[in-house]
A and B are shown apart, each in its own frame.
Chain A
Amino acid sequence: MLEVENVHAYYRGNEALKGVSLEVGPGEIIALIGANGAGKTTLLNCISGLHTDMVGRISFGGADISGAPAHKLVKHGLVQCPENRQLFGSMTVQENLEMGAYLWSEQNRGESLSKRLEHMLRKFPVLKSRRRQLAGTLSGGEQQMVAIARGLMSDPKLLMLDEPSLGLAPIIVEEVFGIIKEMRNEGRTILLVEQNAIAALDLSDRAYLLETGSVTFSGPSKVFMKDARVRRAYLGKDLEAPNSSC
């Protein structure tokens, strides 16, 4: 479905991605894990067209989308929930969701926008009582729900979630992962970027480990859990050389 081949990305001349290849098949949940600054968000931004200083080939559903501007990709069914949620803070929750269906309502696949909204509010009951509230005034967890719901409004073929658990209280994080699990059970294809590696590996089919701009390990998530390198770096289970300063 999504194929990323040998992508190099640059930030002011610095190479942030050094030839990354990655593949997402239909119905798969793929986790992309790695430390801060490894290039996870850059990779997502390359795919979604937000980051244009790149070379390499990205194709989605058989079409070459490398270098296509972000606003053209939603039409293909490729939607990114950006890091830190990036809601439209001065607009209401409902308006945020409507923006998620911006192109969907243009194409209007036989279903009206209000029906789509109702459907989404049933899926996220927390948001129902908040629909007239400004999105910027919601709590972090509620904002994350809005961000995910907004991403789902256009019924994307592939949803890319960038750090959905970032800055949330543990109990809310659980809720967010519950929603991702639900989406998995519905058969939605997801590319999940997470720092919370255990949770991400737990619900994904396959995973990629990104380290300083390169994929250093990839495979089924179960194998990942057992890999010493991953455990040492991201699962905090390094017994050989405990880092006392942390």
Chain B
Amino acid sequence: MDHLAQFIVAGLTTGSIYALIALGFCVIHNATGIVNFAQGDFISLGGLVIFTLLMGLKVPLIIAFPISVIAVTIVGALLERVAIRPARSRSIVILVFITIGASIFMRGVFKILWGKNQMGLPPFSGETPINFAGATLMPQNLWIFGITLISVIGLHFFFSRTRLGKAMRATACNPRAASLMGVNVNSMVLLSFALSGALGAIAGIIIVPITTLSFDIGVMLGLKGFAAAVLGGYGNSLGAVLGGLLLGVLESVGAGVISSTYKDVIAFGILLLVLFIKPSGLLGRGDTERL
């Protein structure tokens, strides 16, 4: 267990990414009740777009980052507008299947545009390791922690303090009543897909420098993020963050102690365990509303 600190740092890093992805799942779930299986492709697209901007067009990072996020945000909004809204009156299961179809379609397009090769990106700022509490941190780890923290705080501020954020929560809670308050429910659903696109893009952009990039990098990450969301209590934002970090750490420590071959087994084993023992997740409530 000499490397425990190192495993925890590595776990918190991937855990931060899982947390961002899990939040993306939550935002859409809360607005629509849908599990959006195209969430993983938002991650891939974020990474692919910033790769092209940085390596192909030589755009500086500070400009490439927001452009990539905006691009995926637009794709998220388009997904809602083109594929989800025309079928909104259908049952949830149909909508979930539409997102699966959209995911396969998007992956196909990515494969045509970017090819099947593996790509790589340099870290945002150098590769000088930093020693901290017995663990070695790369600057990219700090970027990941920092950007995740800012995103989570920003999201919390948006949902708890802004008029639009509250309207989104109201829509999630009771769409009919929200429309009686003058909230345009369709716009809120559109916004939730855009927001999830942005979260997915951020996750994709910050993880690419510590992994290899390919057109389908988001598939496994998306599933892990989904597992994190379930672990935390599906739909609960705080749960998504905790679930993400916990899943990252358990996976990393487990892989370190046993073998990294079993990394994915550990993640999905935890998912199954949660579903068997406490299906509502760590912070998930049963229905506590009084009628």
Contact = CB atoms under 8 A, between A and B. Distances in A.
A80 B173 CA distance: 18
A98 interface: yes
Contacts of B217: none
B58 interface: no
Contact of A71 (B169, B179, B290): B179
Given A88-B169, A90-B169, A80 B288 contact: no
Contacts of B290: 136-140, 143
Contacts of B181: 71, 74, 99-100, 102-103, 150
Interface string A137-164: 1111001000000100010000000000
Given A91-B166, A99-B166, A82 B183 contact: no
B288 A102 contact: no
Interface in A45-97: 48-50, 69-75, 79-80, 82, 84, 86-91, 95
A99 B167 CA distance: 7
A108 to B, nearest CB: 11
Interface in B267-291: 288-291
A182 B24 CA distance: 46
A91 B173 contact: yes
A212 interface: no
Contacts of A88: 169-170, 173-174, 177-178
Contacts of A218: none
A154 B290 CA distance: 26
> Chain B interface: which size bin?
20 to 34
B176 A71 contact: no
A6 interface: no
A136 B285 CA distance: 13
Contacts of B177: 82, 86-88
A105 interface: yes
A95 B165 CA distance: 11
A89 B173 CA distance: 7
B185 interface: yes
Contact of B182 (A82, A91, A102): A102
A88 to B, nearest CB: 4
Interface in B155-201: 163, 166-167, 169-170, 173-174, 176-185
Given A88-B173, A88-B174, A99-B170, A48 B180 contact: yes
Contacts of A80: 180
B169 A74 contact: no
A143 B290 CA distance: 10
Nearest to B164: A102
Contacts of A69: 179, 184
Interface centre among B166, B180, B182 (most CB of A within 10 A): B180
A74 B173 contact: no
Interface in A162-221: none
A54 to B, nearest CB: 16
Contacts of B180: 48, 50, 70-71, 74, 79-80, 82, 86
A3 B163 CA distance: 33
A233 to B, nearest CB: 28
A141 to B, nearest CB: 12
Contacts of B169: 88, 90-91, 95
A103 B173 contact: no
A143 B177 CA distance: 14
Interface in B230-279: none
B170 A136 contact: no
Contacts of B166: 91, 95, 98-99
Nearest to A48: B180
B170 A50 contact: no
Contacts of A90: 169, 173, 289
A119 B176 CA distance: 26
Given A140-B290, A140-B291, 19 more contacts: A48-B180, A50-B179, A69-B179, A71-B180, A71-B182, A71-B184, A74-B182, A82-B177, A84-B291, A88-B178, A91-B173, A95-B170, A98-B163, A99-B178, A99-B183, A100-B181, A103-B181, A105-B163, A136-B289
7 contacts: A50-B176, A72-B182, A80-B180, A87-B174, A89-B289, A91-B169, A103-B181
Interface of A: 48-50, 69-75, 79-80, 82, 84, 86-91, 95, 98-100, 102-103, 105-106, 136-140, 143, 150, 154
Which 7 residue pairs are nearest across A and B when measured between Cβ atoms?
Answer: A74-B182, A136-B289, A103-B182, A86-B177, A70-B179, A89-B289, A88-B173
